[in-house]
Amino acid sequence: MPLWQHLLLELWKRREGRWLHCEEYRELGGVSQAIAQTADIVYHSLSPMEQTQVRNIFVRLTR
């Protein structure tokens, strides 16, 4: 559910009036691409030191 919630939030941000459009969903690339785009935005907003820390955390989480 949290993954779909994120996608719906991104769709809501891009809405026109009250309507959500299929084109916006396609542009977001579905759930996985919407999450990847948000992760990239957050990661690139960090300082170089913070990026290194985040990278180390995720390497440890995936081992």
Q: What is the pLDDT of residues 24-38, one digit of tens each?
A: 888 888 888 888 999
- CA 49/CA 17 separation, integer angstroms: 40
Q: Average of pLDDT values for 30-50?
A: 92
**Total residues found in the chain within this entry:** 63
pLDDT, residue 22, reads 84
Domains contained in the chain, number: 1
Domain that holds residue 22: 2-62
pLDDT digits (tens, 9 = 90+) for 3-27: 889 888 988 988 888 888 888 888 8
Burial class from Cβ neighbours inside 10 Å (0-12, 13-18, 19+) for residue 24 reads middle
pLDDT, residue 25, reads 84
pLDDT, residue 17, reads 84
3-class DSSP assignment, residue 29 = coil
Is the CB of residue 38 less than 8 Å from the CB of residue 10?
yes
- CA 31/CA 24 separation, integer angstroms: 12
